[in-house]
């Protein structure tokens, strides 16, 4: 479902114009090899569309966490060949800066239908400070701005928010796809809506849990954070990871859920061991009977059955976080079983499934179903802030720009 008020590259006449595309090229690299190409794969439709329509395309991005100065290990030269190869243009023009004479010369030399890449935005302090002068220098390079980096949309940086004050600004294909998927999942969903929230700590997802309780009909809590809720209910979780100081907070969330009619599903059994390591002795016990000196490291089969049975009655699912210590077998069993059930429900068109977060992506990939979910977000912080119900500066900037700028 299109997001109301959001203009996209479909609204552009780009022939002969210089289009600045904010990408997220912060991809994992080992030496000069990219180890995960999902972000570039999702960027390609925007770049190819603009190039086919004879735009002069200038890609801007950050890479790593440099301290506002040039650091060779964070140079986008490392990504240049990868991006060029993916686009079938191995000799991609590159500028040694993202503003100033080097950048201006590269942009000036581009012909319609050509693409170039500028150096790391974060080599300048003005990027993360959202300095208007830096944003204005970036904007000076182009005629139109396209944001295709949803994963950066929660940052009020110059290349995400500031630049929209100086150029007509629209969403790229990847940004558009992400926002449409998220809109379908929580803003205009088909009900009943379920959410799976896992991971180690309640404290990292407290705002998300609080927001989701008011938005979904079923909230499934797994991973270490489920232990905090069990502890809050008086269950002796023994050595299991939990946050005892958040017991009152957990109880408040349970009360709010009851008040608004949200069903919270917690584990009823668990796989326990004395330590988290491959090959350790494990057993399955009720959550109320964890042996002394042991810890819950995964959901048990009864908990998995309960979750899958409940999901069969839902029409929409949002998933963030694994249900157990999935990185170490056999504590990946619950996450894998639920992931495969979600994939089957998605395939049968009875469930719209949207998942996000680095651990969630890894868990779905490990289960072999990452391509069988309706939409998997490559964003980390932006996805979580969306779950929290927060407005994302990068998205708000596009909407504000489109309310005030002249027609493109």
Q: Which residues are catalytic?
A: 39, 201, 358, 381
Strands 169-171 and 115-118: unpaired
Per-residue burial over 176-200, b if 16 or more Cβ lie within 10 Å, else e, is bbbbbbbbbbbeebeebbbbbbbbb
Task: Give the separation between CA 162 and CA 87, rounded to whole angstroms.
Answer: 28
Strand spans (E) along 127-168: 144-147
Task: Give the separation between CA 211 and CA 164, rounded to whole angstroms.
Answer: 29
Nearest residue to 380 (alpha-carbon basis) of 43, 223, 79, 149? 149
Write the CA distances from 303 to 58, 280, 299, integer angstroms: 50, 22, 6
The contacts of residue 319 (CB under 8 Å, 6+ apart) are 195, 196, 342, 353, 354, 355, 356, 360, 373
Nearest residue to 178 (alpha-carbon basis) of 24, 346, 340? 24
Task: Give the separation between CA 76 and CA 58, rounded to whole angstroms.
Answer: 13
Helical (H) or strand (E) element with 334: helix 333-347
Q: Are 406 and 168 in contact (CB under 8 A)?
A: yes
């Amino acid at each position: 479902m299109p997001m109301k008020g959001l203009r996209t590259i479909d609204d552009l006449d780009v022939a002969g114009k210089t289009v600045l595309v904010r990408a997220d090229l912060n991809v994992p690299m080992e030496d000069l090899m990219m180890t995960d190409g999902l972000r570039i794969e999702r960027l390609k439709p925007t770049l190819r569309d603009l190039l086919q329509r004879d735009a002069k395309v200038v890609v801007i991005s950050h890479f790593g966490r440099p301290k506002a100065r040039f650091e060779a290990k964070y140079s986008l030269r490392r990504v240049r060949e990868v991006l060029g190869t993916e686009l079938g243009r191995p000799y991609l023009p590159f500028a040694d800066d993202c503003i100033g004479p080097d950048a201006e010369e590269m942009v000036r030399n581009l012909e319609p239908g050509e693409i170039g890449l500028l150096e790391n935005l974060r080599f300048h302090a003005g990027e993360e400070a959202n300095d208007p002068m830096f944003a204005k220098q970036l904007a000076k390079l182009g005629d139109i701005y396209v944001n295709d980096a949803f994963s950066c949309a929660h940052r009020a940086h110059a290349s995400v928010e500031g630049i929209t004050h100086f150029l007509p600004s629209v969403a790229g294909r990847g940004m558009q796809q992400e926002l449409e998927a998220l809109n379908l999942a929580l803003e205009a969903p088909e009900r009943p809506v379920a959410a799976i929230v896992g991971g180690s700590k309640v404290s990292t997802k407290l705002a998300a849990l609080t927001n989701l309780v008011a938005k979904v009909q079923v909230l499934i809590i797994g991973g270490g954070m489920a232990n905090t809720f069990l502890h809050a209910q008086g269950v002796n979780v023994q050595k299991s990871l939990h946050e005892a100081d958040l017991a009152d907070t957990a109880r408040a969330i349970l009360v709010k859920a009851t008040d608004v009619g949200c069903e919270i599903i917690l584990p009823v059994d668990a796989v326990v061991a004395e330590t988290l390591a491959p090959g350790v002795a494990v057993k399955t016990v009720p959550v109320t009977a964890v042996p002394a000196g042991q810890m819950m490291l995964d959901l048990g089969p009864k908990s998995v059955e309960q979750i899958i049975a409940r999901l069969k009655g839902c029409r929409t699912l949002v998933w963030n976080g694994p249900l157990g210590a999935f990185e170490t077998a056999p504590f990946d069993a619950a996450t894998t079983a639920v992931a495969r059930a979600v994939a089957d429900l998605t395939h049968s068109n009875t469930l719209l499934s949207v998942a996000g977060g680095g651990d969630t992506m890894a868990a779905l990939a490990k289960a072999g179903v990452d391509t069988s979910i309706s939409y998997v977000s490559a964003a980390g912080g932006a996805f979580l802030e969306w779950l929290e119900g927060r407005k994302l500066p990068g998205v708000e900037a596009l909407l504000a720009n489109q309310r005030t700028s002249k027609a493109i």
